[in-house]
Structures are given as structure tokens and as C-alpha cells.
Amino acid sequence: METTMKVLFVASGNSKNFDIAPFIKSQGESLIENGIDVQFYPVVGKGILGYIKSSKKLKLFLKENSFDLIHAHYTLSGLTAVFSRPKIPIVLSLMGSDAYGEYIGHKKVKFSSRYLTLLTYLIQPFVQAIFSKSPNIDKFVYRKKIAHIVPNGVIFEKFVQIEKKKAKADLGLSPKEKYVLFLGDPKSNRKNYSLARRSVDLINNPNIKLLTPYPTTHDNVIKHFNAADVFVMCAFMEGSPNVVKEAMVCNCPVVTTDVGDAAWVVGDTPGCYVASFTPQDFANKIQQAVSFSDKVGRTEGRKRIIELGLSATTVANRISNLYTEVIDKHK
């Protein structure tokens, strides 16, 4: 009789808003639906020393609980896993900033974050597989034999289309005005809110409004995707931005900067555009997207995401197969 694979997700537990980052939890839930027994282990501790000290608790936890594999999310969580000296294989997911550092401007990396890049190089001999979200992260993996590009998937059942009129009414938005949706934290340098603000100001149309609902609930995010005429992502750097995929699954027009795998995800989907970091170009693309929304309505983004194999179910199947390969090699 075939036994159920048991996997321990090791990830940061330092957020005040959640025990484990929602996109990591979503991946775990997709794997559970795929028949894998996934347990979550939040690491509470900040900085290199905090994560290394947490390895003692993890070591005790592993003595009391049996797993086939550890999947660590982010290099610092990988340190916790490695220093716990487990007898089972470790898979490390690189998230983005742990590979290339923290971006504070276009092609500008915060100097104090560069230690993360060094750690990402140093940890590689001690893990059995490395998952990168996109090719720009994979560039920092020199152990190519254990490297895999595995973008995050989208749970299609959660991101559904709602009639635009109803979505606007539910959010208390005007049925006559056009809405440009920015979902990131306006205070985050990396999210580059100023590009969205300046671009909408350049358009200079009183009927085109910039929506910034951060922070908001998951249900409201879906309503905003369905109410908006265009979703914009202006970030200086991303790995594999799920928010672009989620907007496309809701068939919302998109304008995004060329970061991570966003340009590949968007492809040549009508109503979805890749813009530069100049406000004028970004404004032009917003106008094109609003015009598309007026004339055509919604995009075929959902179809594009299906074609790319980026549903959470498809990605979970791939991860399950990679887990099996790693475990078999470790025996």
C-alpha cells in the first residue's frame, strides 16, 4: 500500500498579519489537495542569528515528528532547515529579494540587503533542490543540476468573474467613472506607487480615478479586479508576481512593468500591456487599456494562464513530481 508523502513547509512566521504568507499557504493547500500531507512550521526570529537560533527548535520538532522532505521558503528559512541538520532532503524556494536583494529604485538595490545574495550562494551545497519563481531569480543559482523554475500558481476557484456593475456597486464605486487599480502598499518603495500616481495625473482625465485599496480583504481584491478598467503593477522588481496572474484570471486588463516573469505571463494577450518605467509610456498604456475596456470589455487572460499551465493544480502536480524525484535520489 502506497504511503502518503509528508512534507514540512518551513517559512517566516514574523508577520503580524498572518502566521505564514498567504501565497505559501495557498501552495501548501494545493499540495494537500494533491494528496500530500503538508504541515506548516513558522520560524519566529529576525535576521541571520534569529533564523539560525530557530534551528534548535526545529531540530527538536523533527525528532518528535516524521517527514519525508523539508520545503523551506526563502533563503533565511533555508538556513533554519540546514542548521537543524535533518536526515531528510531539503528543497529551497527562492522568493526574489533573497536572490537579488531589496530594490529601492529602477536597477537600484539597497546595499544592506546584498548579504542575502551572498547567503543564497553559500546555502546551495547544503540543499537537494532549488525552486526559483522565474528566470531572473534562477540566474543566482549556480548548481544548475538541482535548479528548477517553478512559478506560483493561481487557485482558479477563488478568482472568479463578477459582473462589473455588481462589483462596482458592492464596493461603492461610481458606475460612470473609470478605475485604475493599484493593489500594492503605496508606502513601499519597491511597489513604486509614484509611477501609477504620476501616470494617472498625466492622463489628466477627471473620469479616470486611481484606486488604492491597500490593505484589503481577499474577497474585496476579487471585487476590485472585476470592477477595475485596468490593473497596474509598477514594481521595480518582482519574482513571479501572482497579482498579475490573478488579475488575468479575472480577465481584467493589465499594465505592468517588465519585472520577473510578468512580460512572459502577459504575452500578447489583447488588453494587457508591458510598459517602461517612464510615466508617459505608462500613461499611454493605461489609456490603451481603458480604451480596450470601453470597446471590448474583458480580456482572455484566464485562457492565457490556463495555456501557460499556471493553475494551482497544475503547479502542484509538478511540485509533487519534483518532490518524488528528490526523495528517490536521497534514498
pLDDT band at 330 (very low <50, low <70, confident <90, very high): confident
Q: Chain-wide mean pLDDT for the chain?
A: 93
Cα separation of 258 and 151, whole Å?
16
pLDDT at 3: 79
Cα separation of 251 and 247, whole Å?
6
Q: b/e for 296-314, b at 16 or more Cβ within 10 A? A: eebbbbbebbeebebbbeb
Cα separation of 236 and 273, whole Å?
16
How much is the average pLDDT of 127-131? Answer: 98
What pLDDT digit, counting tens, does each position of 175-226 carry? Answer: 999 999 999 999 988 899 999 999 999 999 999 999 999 988 888 999 999 9
Rounded percentage of the chain residues whose pLDDT exceeds 90: 80
Q: Is there a common fold for 6-153+311-330 and 164-307?
A: yes
Q: What does DSSP say about strands 129-132 and 90-94: parallel, antiparallel, or unpaired?
A: parallel
Q: Has residue 101 got a pLDDT over 80?
A: no
Cα separation of 117 and 109, whole Å?
11
Domain boundaries, the chain: 6-153+311-330, 164-307
pLDDT at 2: 63
| Residue 224 Ramachandran class (φ > 0 left, ψ -120 to 50 alpha, else beta) | alpha
What pLDDT digit, counting tens, does each position of 102-126 carry? Answer: 766 676 666 555 888 889 999 999 9
Cβ(158)–Cβ(206) below 8 Å: no
Q: Has residue 1 got a pLDDT over 50?
A: no
Longest dimension (CA), the chain: 67
Q: Residue 164's CB: how many other CB atoms inside 10 A?
A: 18
Query: What are residue 209's DSSP bridge partners?
Result: 179
Cβ(4)–Cβ(36) below 8 Å: yes
Which CATH class, in words, describes the domain spanning 164-307? Answer: alpha beta
Alpha-carbon dihedral sign for residues 289, 294, 295, 300: positive
For 6-153+311-330, the fitting CATH number among 3.20.20.70, 3.40.50.2000, 3.10.129.10, 2.70.70.10 is 3.40.50.2000
Cα separation of 120 and 21, whole Å?
20
How much is the average pLDDT of 149-175? Answer: 94
Cβ(90)–Cβ(108) below 8 Å: no
Residue 107 in grid coordinates:
536597477
Cβ(84)–Cβ(53) below 8 Å: no
What pLDDT digit, counting tens, does each position of 276-323 carry? Answer: 999 999 999 999 999 999 999 999 999 999 999 999 999 999 999 999
